[in-house]
Amino acid sequence: MNNETHHDSTENQIERNAVLVGVQLPGTEQAPIGMYLDELKGLAETASYIPLLSITQNMTTPNSKTFLGSGKVDELEKAVKFHNAKTVIFDDRLSPAQNRNLETALKCRVIDRPWLILEIFSDHAKTREAKTQVELARLKYALPRLTKMWGHLSRQRGGIGMKDVGETQIQLDRRLIRDRISKLEKKLSQIDREKQTQRKSRIASFKVALVGYTNAGKSTLMNQLTEAGALTEDKLFATLDATIRKIKKNFPYPTLVSDTVGLIDKLPHDLIASFKSTLDEARDSDLLLKVVDIGHPNFRNHIKTTDNLLQEMGLSESPAIQVFNKIDQIEDAEFLLDIRGRYPEAVFLSGKKGVGLEELRQSITNSFEKRLTTLRANLSYNDSDTMNKIRKLALIVDEKYTEEGLSITVKAPIETKSRILKLIGSSSTNNNSSAKTSI
Ligand SMILES: Nc1nc2c(ncn2[C@@H]2O[C@H](COP(=O)(O)OP(=O)(O)OP(=O)(O)O)[C@@H](O)[C@H]2O)c(=O)[nH]1
Ligand SMILES: [Mg+2]
């Protein structure tokens, strides 16, 4: 064992020794590679790797066969040997061919950022839905990359047993994986249908979804706004399952808040798609709270990444409030003033310290009220059926019991207004009551 490794070298720890690799490509859009590698290091540690060193290369375009140039591959191979690393983790997505060629050249396991994220997801998934989504995404990702060296699918829970397999075995495994993929897809669409039914039953509440970069503080805010007791941790991708809770009682409208999976840079499209049904909560909401950690040196990029991903999900036009979290970490008042100037509509708060929550509530209420219309109607006393239907579509803000019947005032989202008017109309013809509406 050499003395240069930074960690104790018990058998188990050596297994987790890793080297990180990133390339700096030209273009101003991209943040410096050092930032990405810091993030990759955080991801690697979350997945229990021990990152020993990072290697970078400036390139105009990645090499189609080995991603890095051949000289750099040699250098990397020496570093792997010297540090006794078992895994090399690339910051960018590798093609199946690049993945295979690199494993051959480096004589060790090679993974990329998407796969690393999937390993974390796999560790953190708790519900049936999240587990199914993760397994499906992993199998789809692994299928074209299946080689003799890919013993690591079996290493993880729920693995499919491919340690040191031969070519015939690989063919067999491919078939098994394809079968499993189609089973999982069926299961997921079943879960999706169940969720849609649940969503329909929640129509009478407003829905707010917390979205944003991983570790921004979404779950912490969720806990402040509701009585959720959601898991908050200083680790990446603590939350994988969409939790939905009622907002605390002192809020003027019945509102459900949902916490969603965190977003991250360089997350491939197909991986996002595999979390479609979790993110459907965001799609189904009336308002997005886009949470960003203002204390993070790269927070501007986090805002950009979040906006880009929301756009890919078709949510860029949804009503949203930009929420700058963790203001307790900012000592520079001028910096804060500058950001406030740039985002006049945003809310600045500290979820952890409970500062600025009232301002957020006010901002949420304002957003709702822009989209509400007030309707009044009289219903006859024997028309509880219509009342129940209205209750599902609108918020009953006042009920008065008069001689003519029940006089109600409701606030309804503009979208459901015509359905309510129809209901009131039909109730007056059926029951001969005097339904009056005013807007
Ligand atoms: N200083 C400070 N820390 C905060 C604040 N809000 C959250 N944190 C911390 O930031 C870390 C991440 O918080 P979470 O609420 O788990 O973040 P998240 O956005 O849900 O993260 P994922 O579920 O991983 O996407 C935790 O250690 C929190 O305690 C804040 O206002 N100030
Ligand atoms: Mg969370």
Which pLDDT belongs to residue 283?
A: 85
Q: Evaluate if residue 117 carries a pLDDT over 80.
A: yes
Which pLDDT belongs to residue 230?
A: 61
Mutation choice for ligand 1 from 211, 220, 245, CB with most ligand atoms inside 8 A: 220
The ligand 1 atom at the shortest distance from the C-alpha of residue 353 is 31
Whole-prediction pTM value? Answer: 0.80
153/84: higher pLDDT: 84
Ligand lying closest to the C-alpha of residue 120? 1
Ligand lying closest to the C-alpha of residue 352? 1
Listed ranges 18-32, 278-292, 336-350, 423-437; the one with the highest mean pLDDT: 336-350
The mean pLDDT value for 371-400 works out to 85
Which pLDDT belongs to residue 4?
A: 37
- Residue 420 Cα to ligand 1 midpoint, Å, equals 41
348/199: higher pLDDT: 348
Query: Among 82-86, 153-157, 248-252, 318-322, which stretch is predicted with the lowest mean pLDDT?
Result: 153-157
The ligand 1 atom at the shortest distance from the C-alpha of residue 235 is 24
- Residue 325 Cα to ligand 1 midpoint, Å, equals 9
The ligand 1 atom at the shortest distance from the C-alpha of residue 355 is 31
7/327: higher pLDDT: 327
Which pLDDT belongs to residue 10?
A: 63
The ligand 1 atom at the shortest distance from the C-alpha of residue 216 is 19
Q: Evaluate if residue 46 carries a pLDDT over 60.
A: yes
- Residue 278 Cα to ligand 2 midpoint, Å, equals 13
Q: Whose CA is nearest to atom 12 of ligand 1?
A: 215
Query: Among 88-97, 197-206, 372-381, which stretch is predicted with the lowest mean pLDDT?
Result: 197-206
Interacting residues of 234 by C-beta distance below 8 A, sequence separation 6+: 215
Which pLDDT belongs to residue 21?
A: 97
Which pLDDT belongs to residue 161?
A: 36
Mutation choice for ligand 1 from 232, 235, 302, CB with most ligand atoms inside 8 A: 232
User: Domains in the chain and their CATH numbers?
Assistant: 12-114 (3.40.50.11060), 125-199 (no CATH), 202-369 (3.40.50.300), 371-431 (3.30.70.240)
Query: Residue 145 — very low, low, confident or very high, per pLDDT cuts 50/70/90?
Result: confident
Query: Residue 55 — very low, low, confident or very high, per pLDDT cuts 50/70/90?
Result: very high
Q: Whose CA is nearest to atom 7 of ligand 1?
A: 217
Query: Among 71-75, 135-139, 274-278, which stretch is predicted with the lowest mean pLDDT?
Result: 274-278
Query: Residue 134 — very low, low, confident or very high, per pLDDT cuts 50/70/90?
Result: confident
Which pLDDT belongs to residue 434?
A: 39
- Residue 337 Cα to ligand 2 midpoint, Å, equals 28
The mean pLDDT value for 349-372 works out to 93
Q: Evaluate if residue 433 carries a pLDDT over 70.
A: no
Query: Among 175-189, 357-371, 389-403, which stretch is predicted with the lowest mean pLDDT?
Result: 389-403
Question: Using a 6 Å CB cutoff, which residues line ligand 1?
Answer: 214-220, 232-234, 236-239, 262, 325-326, 328-329, 350-353
Ligand lying closest to the C-alpha of residue 225? 1
Which pLDDT belongs to residue 160?
A: 39
Ligand lying closest to the C-alpha of residue 220? 1
The mean pLDDT value for 108-125 works out to 90
**Closest alpha carbon to 427 in 416, 436, 417, 439:** 436
Ligand lying closest to the C-alpha of residue 232? 1
Q: Evaluate if residue 152 carries a pLDDT over 60.
A: no
- Residue 261 Cα to ligand 2 midpoint, Å, equals 7
- Residue 233 Cα to ligand 1 midpoint, Å, equals 6
Percent of the chain whose predicted confidence (pLDDT) is above 70? 83
In tens, the pLDDT along 170-184 reads 677 788 889 999 999
In tens, the pLDDT along 329-351 reads 999 999 999 999 999 999 999 99
| Mean pLDDT, the chain, integer | 83
The ligand 1 atom at the shortest distance from the C-alpha of residue 329 is 1
